[in-house]
């Protein structure tokens, strides 16, 4: 490229390299067809336009080809002394088939340059030779400036012109081609007669060019490097440069001699080169060429942009400035490989002009000429974004993998036809499989299922089901790498894509061995103890615990009040038999630790830890686990513990089981205690009830006798002395009589009340119709006095004590009449059978009861009115309730003030 630009710049161009020069006539600004390479003013090589064209045609990259590699060396030169005449020079040129001939002095130093073109354009020399050719030897004299003695023979000259490699033709003033040499005819492909004698216009594609040449010839006599397109015989177009010189005779334009230089190939090559350069320069990919020393010779825009320089600024720069220091070694290694293999690809971090870092992918291609490496091409792609994506991907993959592998359950991936793709670490650890060994294998053929042909068949069937889009789940039994049996909850799920197609299968396994075992233990113990309470429960529990937990001993103990430093066993079981209850002090025992810490485990060497504990030694206990028992308020009640003569192996499972049953045992102790307390209270209550009834009975019974005496003596006093003492005395005696009779009623009522409790449960079938009638008879005075109407629906037979039920009817109907309004009392007694019992009602139209008193009226001595308003003792309804309670029924009232009341009670139907 440097040589081309040098040639193009012509006379004023500066040498691109100190050792490269182009010689040229001074003042000539035209392009040159060669570049001469000098070393200490001696020509050492030459590079011509033809070479350039050759290089381009051979597909070389002119940007990187070095002149030194492609120049013609050594150079044919001619010593100045041998340059006696033009023809000598010409013959040298002809002889070597060259077009450029450096002229040197006797020391070999360059003194000048002769080119074939210049020689041929020597004009008049050739002019003369053509004249010879055209007009024969006779016309020789027409030339007055050349001595024909300069030619060795006319024939020589004629041959020279005819055989010159330069194309020549002559055109007459009217435009007719009057002669052309063979080279010209060959160029355009015409026979002599097809060209000579024809008008030049026929062969030019552009008439304007001919007119232009003519104009300039008339004006300047000569034209140089006039570009024109000539039509060949085969229809193709040749692009030529025409140099033309007009011959004048006596002021008359005679003819013009034209050199035609074919520049078609050059044009094409130049065009190719231009396109090629444009393509490289504008390529999206960064492209650079570096010399063998690693300096940038040429970089395109994209490459320079990537590094943050201008293309020009990068020329001459060392490659190391564009690579991150940490990656220099990597790139150097790759460079070495490139020298071996010709091409290498490497990723490295690049350094930009501003110091920033980016990731680049480099393709380095060696450039060489023969054995010699001339440098390398470097194609660069910025892969920072891709790298970042890749890094993100790796990170997320690592994250996923970490989670995947740290999962305790077994998770894998299968192809839809059940071939193993991948699995988490748990999959491989459990049965110690080598990851690589099972990838790609059918899942049912992996070591997971190897122990059971049935399971293999089941898994194979599961794969088919899951591949059809349905999930499968079952429990399977395995043996782990260390030989322990395990139960796995296995599932196989299909994964779908957007179109609903199954893309993968997801096998999952969860080790449920512990859960299964726990479930079994819990179920067994629960079944064994569920139906039991109290002591039986405790005894069953310790027995089942020893069996389920595979321990030798189990105890449930309760803390002994008040100091809580001793415990007593509620139940104990050891070596297949129930152990009798015993007490022991907590001090320096594992049980003390259990009470203090709520939980205590000693999975091995128990005796060493409690060396003073004789019992532990006696029973040979090696391990212990205890859980505290607490009541619902959180207070310690005791403990549950198990002991084994071996070390414990499943402490976690045992702990969970013990905790569950500790809660159950604590609840049982609490329940037992409150039951006992209730029992005490009940007994207490019954006793005090009895005492009270006894007292009430005795009191009311024994009071009757003296009261009767008081009453009869007061009546005697009244009868005998009424009207004999003063008026006041009469009133006092009347008060005393009244008080005594009220006391009589009260004591009677009280006696009645206490009798209800005392009477035996003397129950029989009772006809309520009769009872009702009896009650009315007892109430006939009140009915008559109050003009009461007492009606009833048919009344059933019931099971009960007839006198008490009579009392019940009498009390309720009596109240219904007593608590009347102005209206005459209307009472209705009815009964209906409901819910297996007879429901009686006694409805009245009396004063009614405020809502708030509906319960209170049934308590003994509770009255809502003064005795002057409505007489009574407040015992009647209490008696009624007591009677109903003793009959196992209910008694209640519904009422509103002024709207009457309805008393309800229930009695069992008669057995008949
Ligand atoms: P006594 O009738 O002797 O007052 P009871 O125990 O029979 O005692 O009744 C308690 C209270 O219940 C009565 O004082 C009265 O206030 C209220 N009572 C009872 N029966 C009726 C009724 N049928 N209508 C309105 N109030 C009643």
Whole-number Å distance, alpha carbon 855 to ligand 1 midpoint, is 12
Residue 345, pLDDT score: 94
- At residue 86 the predicted structure's pLDDT band, cuts being 50, 70 and 90, is low
Which ligand 1 atom is at minimum distance from the Cα of 862? 10
DSSP type of residue 206: -
Q: What average pLDDT score do residues 858-885 get?
A: 88
Whole-number Å distance, alpha carbon 857 to ligand 1 midpoint, is 7
Q: Are 409 and 509 in contact (CB under 8 A)?
A: yes
Whole-number Å distance, alpha carbon 616 to ligand 1 midpoint, is 73
DSSP 651-668: HHHHHHHHHHHHHHHHHH
Question: CB within 8 A of 537, min separation 6: which ones?
Answer: 529, 665, 668
Distance (Å, whole) CA 168 – CA 183: 7
Determine whether the shortest distance from the Cβ of 849 to ligand 1 is under 6 A. Answer: yes
Check pLDDT > 50 for residue 149.
Answer: no
Determine whether the shortest distance from the Cβ of 810 to ligand 1 is under 6 A. Answer: no
> For the stretch 634-663, what's the b/e string if a residue is b when 16 or more beta carbons lie within 10 angstroms of its beta carbon?
eebbbbbbbbbeeebeeeebbeebbebbbe
Whole-number Å distance, alpha carbon 643 to ligand 1 midpoint, is 69
Nearest CA to ligand 1 atom 20: 815
Q: Are 526 and 545 in contact (CB under 8 A)?
A: no
Which ligand 1 atom is at minimum distance from the Cα of 847? 25
Which ligand 1 atom is at minimum distance from the Cα of 877? 6
Check pLDDT > 80 for residue 117.
Answer: no
Nearest CA to ligand 1 atom 2: 872
Whole-number Å distance, alpha carbon 809 to ligand 1 midpoint, is 14
Determine whether the shortest distance from the Cβ of 872 to ligand 1 is under 6 A. Answer: yes
Residue 760, pLDDT score: 56
Among 753, 826, 857, 883, residue to substitute to test ligand 1 (most atoms within 8 Å of Cβ): 857
Express the helix, strand and coil content of the chain in percent, nearest 5 each.
45, 25, 30
- At residue 10 the predicted structure's pLDDT band, cuts being 50, 70 and 90, is low
Q: Percent of the chain beyond pLDDT 70?
A: 91
Whole-number Å distance, alpha carbon 861 to ligand 1 midpoint, is 10
> For the stretch 858-877, what's the b/e string if a residue is b when 16 or more beta carbons lie within 10 angstroms of its beta carbon?
bebeebeeeeeeeebbbbbb
Which ligand 1 atom is at minimum distance from the Cα of 749? 3
Whole-number Å distance, alpha carbon 874 to ligand 1 midpoint, is 7
Mind listing the pLDDT tens digit for each residue in 373-391?
788 999 998 888 888 888 8
Residue 24, pLDDT score: 42
Whole-number Å distance, alpha carbon 832 to ligand 1 midpoint, is 24
Mode of pairing for the β-strands spanning 485-496 and 599-602: unpaired
- At residue 758 the predicted structure's pLDDT band, cuts being 50, 70 and 90, is low
Least Cα distance to 242 among 265, 218, 216 occurs for 216
Q: What average pLDDT score do residues 420-437 get?
A: 81
Determine whether the shortest distance from the Cβ of 864 to ligand 1 is under 6 A. Answer: yes
Whole-number Å distance, alpha carbon 739 to ligand 1 midpoint, is 21
Check pLDDT > 80 for residue 858.
Answer: yes
DSSP 68-91: HHHSB-SPP-EEGGG--SHHHHHH
Q: What average pLDDT score do residues 184-213 get?
A: 91
Check pLDDT > 90 for residue 89.
Answer: no
Q: What average pLDDT score do residues 45-61 get?
A: 79
DSSP 535-567: HHHHHHHHHHHHHHTT-SEEEEEEEPTTT--EE
- How many CB atoms are located within 10 Å of the residue 449 CB? 21
* Residue 765: its H or E element: strand 764-767
Residue 159, pLDDT score: 65
Determine whether the shortest distance from the Cβ of 844 to ligand 1 is under 6 A. Answer: yes
Residue 759, pLDDT score: 58
Whole-number Å distance, alpha carbon 573 to ligand 1 midpoint, is 63
Among 815, 817, 829, residue to substitute to test ligand 1 (most atoms within 8 Å of Cβ): 815
- At residue 160 the predicted structure's pLDDT band, cuts being 50, 70 and 90, is low
Residue 140, pLDDT score: 34
Q: What average pLDDT score do residues 115-137 get?
A: 52
Distances (CA, A) of 592 to 554, 601, 687, 837: 16, 12, 42, 58
Q: What average pLDDT score do residues 734-758 get?
A: 81
Determine whether the shortest distance from the Cβ of 900 to ligand 1 is under 6 A. Answer: no
Whole-number Å distance, alpha carbon 877 to ligand 1 midpoint, is 7
Average pLDDT, the chain: 85
Which ligand 1 atom is at minimum distance from the Cα of 863? 14
- How many CB atoms are located within 10 Å of the residue 295 CB? 15
Max avg pLDDT among 141-150, 519-528, 605-614: 605-614
Whole-number Å distance, alpha carbon 878 to ligand 1 midpoint, is 10
Q: What average pLDDT score do residues 132-142 get?
A: 37
Whole-number Å distance, alpha carbon 192 to ligand 1 midpoint, is 161
Q: Are 581 and 594 in contact (CB under 8 A)?
A: no
Whole-number Å distance, alpha carbon 786 to ligand 1 midpoint, is 16
Determine whether the shortest distance from the Cβ of 819 to ligand 1 is under 6 A. Answer: yes
Mode of pairing for the β-strands spanning 286-291 and 252-262: unpaired
Whole-number Å distance, alpha carbon 865 to ligand 1 midpoint, is 8
- How many CB atoms are located within 10 Å of the residue 845 CB? 19
Nearest CA to ligand 1 atom 3: 872
Nearest CA to ligand 1 atom 21: 815
Residue 156, pLDDT score: 54
Mind listing the pLDDT tens digit for each residue in 401-422?
888 777 778 888 999 999 999 8
Q: Percent of the chain beyond pLDDT 90?
A: 42
Check pLDDT > 60 for residue 573.
Answer: yes
Q: What average pLDDT score do residues 640-657 get?
A: 90
Q: Is 873 left (phi over 0), alpha (psi -120 to 50) or beta?
A: alpha
Determine whether the shortest distance from the Cβ of 847 to ligand 1 is under 6 A. Answer: yes
Whole-number Å distance, alpha carbon 825 to ligand 1 midpoint, is 15
Q: Are 128 and 144 in contact (CB under 8 A)?
A: no
Could you tell me which residue, 509 or 118, shows the higher pLDDT?
A: 509
* Residue 601: its H or E element: strand 599-602
Go through the chain and tell me how many residues it has: 912
Q: Are 641 and 545 in contact (CB under 8 A)?
A: no
Distance (Å, whole) CA 225 – CA 818: 154
Mind listing the pLDDT tens digit for each residue in 318-370?
999 999 999 999 999 999 999 999 999 999 999 999 989 999 999 999 988 77
Distances (CA, A) of 276 to 54, 63, 263, 365, 378: 16, 10, 19, 18, 17
- How many CB atoms are located within 10 Å of the residue 555 CB? 26
Distance (Å, whole) CA 687 – CA 519: 49
Check pLDDT > 70 for residue 551.
Answer: yes
Mind listing the pLDDT tens digit for each residue in 794-846?
999 999 998 899 999 999 999 999 999 999 999 999 999 998 999 999 999 99
327-331, 569-573, 724-728: segment of lowest average pLDDT: 724-728
Among 877, 880, 903, residue to substitute to test ligand 1 (most atoms within 8 Å of Cβ): 877
Which ligand 1 atom is at minimum distance from the Cα of 875? 6
Determine whether the shortest distance from the Cβ of 825 to ligand 1 is under 6 A. Answer: no
Could you tell me which residue, 120 or 136, shows the higher pLDDT?
A: 120
Distance (Å, whole) CA 819 – CA 871: 10
Residue 100, pLDDT score: 86
DSSP type of residue 613: -
Whole-number Å distance, alpha carbon 884 to ligand 1 midpoint, is 17
Among 851, 863, 905, residue to substitute to test ligand 1 (most atoms within 8 Å of Cβ): 863
Mind listing the pLDDT tens digit for each residue in 669-720?
999 889 999 999 999 888 888 887 778 777 777 888 888 888 888 888 888 8
Q: What average pLDDT score do residues 193-213 get?
A: 91
Q: What average pLDDT score do residues 886-894 get?
A: 94
Determine whether the shortest distance from the Cβ of 644 to ligand 1 is under 6 A. Answer: no
Q: Are 622 and 604 in contact (CB under 8 A)?
A: yes
- At residue 64 the predicted structure's pLDDT band, cuts being 50, 70 and 90, is confident
Nearest CA to ligand 1 atom 8: 874
Residue 18, pLDDT score: 31
- Report CA 527 to chain centroid distance, whole Å: 45
Determine whether the shortest distance from the Cβ of 857 to ligand 1 is under 6 A. Answer: yes
Residue 894, pLDDT score: 96
Nearest CA to ligand 1 atom 19: 815
Which ligand 1 atom is at minimum distance from the Cα of 860? 6
Which ligand 1 atom is at minimum distance from the Cα of 842? 23
Distance (Å, whole) CA 318 – CA 172: 63
Which ligand 1 atom is at minimum distance from the Cα of 858? 6
The pTM of this model reads: 0.41
């Amino acid at each position: 490229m440097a040589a081309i630009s040098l040639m193009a710049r012509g006379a004023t161009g500066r040498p691109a390299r100190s050792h490269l020069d182009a010689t040229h006539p001074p003042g000539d600004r035209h392009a040159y067809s060669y570049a001469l390479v000098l070393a200490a003013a001696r020509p050492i090589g030459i590079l011509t336009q033809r070479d350039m064209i050759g290089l381009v045609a051979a597909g070389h990259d002119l940007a990187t080809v070095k002149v030194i590699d492609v120049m013609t060396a050594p150079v044919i030169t001619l010593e100045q002394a041998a340059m006696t005449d033009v023809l000598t020079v010409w013959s040298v040129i002809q002889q070597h088939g060259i077009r450029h001939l450096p002229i040197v002095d006797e020391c070999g130093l360059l003194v000048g340059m002769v080119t074939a073109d210049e020689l041929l354009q020597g004009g008049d020399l050739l002019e003369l030779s053509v004249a010879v050719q055209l007009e024969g030897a006779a016309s020789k004299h027409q030339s007055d400036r050349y001595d024909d003695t300069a030619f060795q023979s006319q024939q020589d000259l004629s041959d020279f012109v005819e055989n010159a490699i330069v194309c020549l033709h002559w055109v007459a003033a009217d435009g007719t081609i009057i002669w052309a040499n063979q080279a010209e005819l060959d160029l355009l492909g015409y026979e002599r007669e097809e060209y000579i004698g024809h008008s030049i216009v026929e062969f030019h594609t552009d008439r304007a060019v001919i007119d232009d040449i003519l104009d300039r010839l008339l004006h300047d006599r000569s034209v140089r490097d006039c570009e024109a397109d000539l039509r060949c015989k085969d229809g193709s177009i040749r692009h030529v440069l025409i140099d033309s010189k007009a011959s004048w005779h006596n002021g008359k334009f005679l003819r013009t001699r034209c050199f035609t230089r074919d520049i078609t190939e050059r044009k094409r090559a130049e065009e190719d080169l231009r396109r090629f350069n444009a393509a490289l320069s504008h390529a999206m990919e960064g492209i650079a060429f570096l010399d063998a020393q690693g300096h940038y010779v040429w970089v395109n825009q994209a490459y320079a942009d990537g590094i943050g320089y201008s293309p020009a600024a990068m020329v001459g720069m060392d490659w190391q400035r564009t690579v991150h220091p940490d990656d220099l070694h990597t790139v150097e290694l790759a460079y070495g490989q490139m020298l071996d293999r010709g091409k290498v690809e490497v990723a490295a971090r690049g350094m930009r002009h501003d110091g920033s870092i980016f990731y680049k992918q480099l393709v380095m291609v060696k450039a060489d000429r023969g054995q010699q490496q001339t440098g390398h091409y470097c194609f660069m792609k910025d892969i920072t974004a891709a790298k970042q994506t890749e890094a993100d991907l790796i990170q997320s993959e690592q994250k996923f993998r970490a989670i995947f592998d740290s999962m305790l359950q077994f998770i894998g991936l299968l192809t839809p036809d059940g071939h193993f793709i991948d699995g988490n670490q748990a999959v491989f650890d459990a049965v110690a499989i080598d990851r690589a060994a099972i990838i790609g294998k059918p899942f049912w053929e992996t070591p997971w299922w190897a122990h059971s042909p049935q399971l293999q068949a089941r898994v194979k069937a599961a794969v088919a089901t899951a591949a059809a889009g349905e999930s499968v789940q079952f429990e399977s039994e395995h043996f782990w790498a260390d030989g322990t049996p395990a139960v796995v909850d296995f599932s196989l799920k299909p994964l779908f894509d957007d179109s609903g197609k199954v893309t993968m299968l997801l096998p999952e396994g969860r080790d449920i061995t512990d859960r299964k075992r726990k479930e079994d233990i819990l179920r067994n113990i629960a079944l064994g103890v569920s139906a039991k309470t109290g002591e039986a429960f405790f005894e069953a529990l310790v027995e089942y615990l020893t069996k389920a937990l595979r321990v030798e001993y189990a105890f449930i103990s309760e803390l002994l009040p008040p100091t809580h430093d001793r415990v007593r066993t509620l139940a104990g079981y050891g070596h297949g038999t129930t152990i009798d209850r015993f007490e022991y002090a907590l001090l320096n025992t594992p049980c003390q630790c259990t009470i203090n810490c709520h939980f205590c485990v000693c999975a091995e060497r128990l005796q060493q830890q409690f060396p003073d504990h004789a019992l532990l030694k006696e029973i040979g206990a090696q391990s212990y686990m205890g859980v505290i028992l607490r009541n619902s308020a959180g207070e310690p009640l005791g403990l549950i513990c198990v002991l084994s003569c071996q070390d414990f192996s499943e402490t976690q499972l045992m702990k969970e089981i013990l905790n569950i049953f500790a809660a159950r045992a604590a609840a049982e102790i609490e329940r037992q205690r409150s039951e006992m307390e209730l029992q005490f209270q009940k007994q207490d209550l019954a006793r005090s009830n009895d005492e009270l009834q006894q007292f009430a009975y005795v009191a009311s019974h024994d009071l009757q006798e003296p009261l009767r005496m008081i009453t009869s003596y007061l009546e005697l006093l009244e009868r005998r002395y009424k009207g004999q003492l003063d008026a006041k005395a009469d009133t006092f005696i009347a008060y005393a009589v009244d008080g005594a009779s009220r006391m009589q009623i009260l004591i009677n009522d009280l006696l009645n009340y206490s009798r209800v409790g005392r009477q035996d449960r003397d129950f029989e079938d009772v006809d309520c119709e009769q009872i009702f009638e009896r009650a009315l008879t007892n109430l006939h005075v009140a009915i008559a006095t109050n003009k009461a109407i007492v009606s009833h629906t048919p009344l059933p037979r019931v099971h009960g004590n007839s006198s008490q039920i009579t009392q019940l009817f009498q009390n309720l109907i009596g109240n219904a009449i007593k608590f009347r309004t102005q209206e005459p009392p209307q009472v209705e007694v009815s009964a209906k059978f409901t819910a297996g019992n007879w429901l009686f009602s006694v409805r009245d139209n009396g004063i009614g009861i405020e809502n708030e008193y509906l319960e209170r009226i049934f308590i003994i001595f509770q009255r809502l009115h003064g005795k002057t308003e409505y007489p009574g003792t407040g015992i009647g309804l209490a008696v009624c309730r007591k009677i109903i309670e003793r009959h196992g029924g209910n008694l209640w009232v519904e009422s509103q003030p002024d709207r009457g009341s309805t008393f309800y009670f229930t009695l069992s139907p008669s057995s008949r």
